[in-house]
Amino acid sequence: MSSGARRIGRALRPTVKALPEHARAHNRSMVLATLFHDGNSSRADIARSTGLTRVTVSDLVSDLIAEGLVTELGVKVEGKVGKPATLVGLDAKAFEIVALDLTDDSELVGAVLTMHGELVTRRTAPLEGRRGDDVVELLVALAADLVDAAASPVLGVGIASPGVIDQDGRVVQAPNLGWYDLPLATLLTERLGVPVHVANDANTRALGEFTYGEAAGSGSMVVTIGQGVGAGIVVDGALVVGKHHAAGEIGHVTVLDDESAQEPGACACGRRGCLETVLSVPALRARVAGLDPQDSDAALASVGRLLGIALAPVVSALDLGEILLSGPRELLDGPLLEAALDAVRARTMPVIGQGLTLRMGSLDEDGVLTGAAVLVLSGQLGVT
């Protein structure tokens, strides 16, 4: 791993028990995951880490070398009398990943990344009011451009889209893009000729924070605040998906009604008083526009309190340990974040609320792209 490489976090717990016929693929993923997280290792190291036999590990490593995913890297001497062992490692240069972020309402953002999540090339395509099929065409063109720009073969394309996305990468609904029941992953796999993985943008950011950032897997929620408000939740080492693939959609929980001191505003979803109507970036900017610093702080704190009220039952139901906010620091990191934490603590059992951390996420604005790269590592290699 180069000195500039990101620190790699822990592996997500597999949510499905491996069946005998899947054992080989499962073992292959374990070997790749060990090399991904531990770095260069001997075959004996891999056998120790995975619990697989030396023979099984040697077989799998030979196959991975033949595929070009793993290379031999010289010899390490273990102890004074130990036999020299050949080190093997993931050939991070063998493949690159293309990632796309469809969160912004004015442009599509895409990048070529290394297998360690480092950004190599970044490109954007302005939406200019496009919707529906026209967005698909623009997306195909940008993705094809990035696949061409990659210096190595592309392992896959990862796409983070707003909206409700099922496990096959079908967009159930993404009203902002004018997409309904759109088999995006299948369609783009055919058009681009490389495997394409699609997931919700908030879930993708949560995966990025978990794999490359510092989020703990025991109970974390990443609240993404941009044009809309969404959240991705990792509990007991697995992403929470939910019955309708819509887990984490807290943006459309009602926080203001006719009884509230504030007038409930109209929401894009057609209802009134949703969390998104006060917490989205445009709503926050409108709220603080023209205010002096003291009034601005008070206005942000009042929104933070509403966020805390919406989060308290979620924190309690799932016993979350930390909540990460992702979005513009100048709006979120301060009175808003503090008021949200106070509100959660005031409304939950001390055993839960007092131990809760509420902080800004550690990935930057390209964190969704990093998460989209994890979709590909996970989908193609079983590595997260």
Q: Whole-number minimum distance, CB 241 to Zn ion, in Å?
A: 21
Nearer to Zn ion, 122 or 287 (CB): 287
The sign of the torsion formed by the CA atoms of 8, 10, 13, 19 equals positive
Burial 71-107 (b: 16+ CB within 10 A, else e): beeeeeeeeeeeeeeebbbbbbeebbbbbbbbbbeeb
Q: Whole-number minimum distance, CB 277 to Zn ion, in Å?
A: 7
- Exactly one of 69, 274, 300, 368 binds Zn ion (CB under 5 A); which one? 274
Q: Whole-number minimum distance, CB 101 to Zn ion, in Å?
A: 22
Q: Which residues pair with 111 in a beta bridge?
A: 99, 122
Q: Please list every residue from 13 through 32 that binds Zn ion, using CB under 5 A.
A: none
Q: Whole-number minimum distance, CB 168 to Zn ion, in Å?
A: 26
Stretch that binds Zn ion, among 97-105, 201-209, 268-276, 306-314 (CB under 5 A): 268-276
Indicate whether 310 belongs to the interface with Zn ion (CB under 5 A): no
Binding mask 247-266 for Zn ion (x = CB under 5 A): -----x--------------
Nearer to Zn ion, 267 or 310 (CB): 267
Indicate whether 269 belongs to the interface with Zn ion (CB under 5 A): yes
The residues, ordered by sequence, that sit 6+ positions from 212 with a Cβ below 8 Å of its Cβ are 6, 7, 8, 9, 117, 363, 370, 374
Q: Whole-number minimum distance, CB 278 to Zn ion, in Å?
A: 11
Indicate whether 246 belongs to the interface with Zn ion (CB under 5 A): no
CA–CA dist 3, 121 (Å, integer): 19
Nearer to Zn ion, 138 or 253 (CB): 253
For the chain, state the CA radius of gyration: 22
User: How many residues form the binding site for Zn ion (CB under 5 A)?
Assistant: 4
Stretch that binds Zn ion, among 121-129, 245-253, 286-294, 353-361 (CB under 5 A): 245-253
The residues, ordered by sequence, that sit 6+ positions from 26 with a Cβ below 8 Å of its Cβ are 14, 18, 382
- Exactly one of 225, 247, 267, 278 binds Zn ion (CB under 5 A); which one? 267
Helices (H), the chain: 23-38, 43-50, 54-67, 133-149, 184-192, 201-211, 276-279, 281-288, 293-318, 329-332, 335-346, 350-353, 367-376
Please answer whether residues 154 and 109 qualify as being in contact, where contact means their C-beta atoms are separated by less than 8 angstroms.
no
Contact residues for Zn ion, defined by CB under 5 A:
252, 267, 269, 274
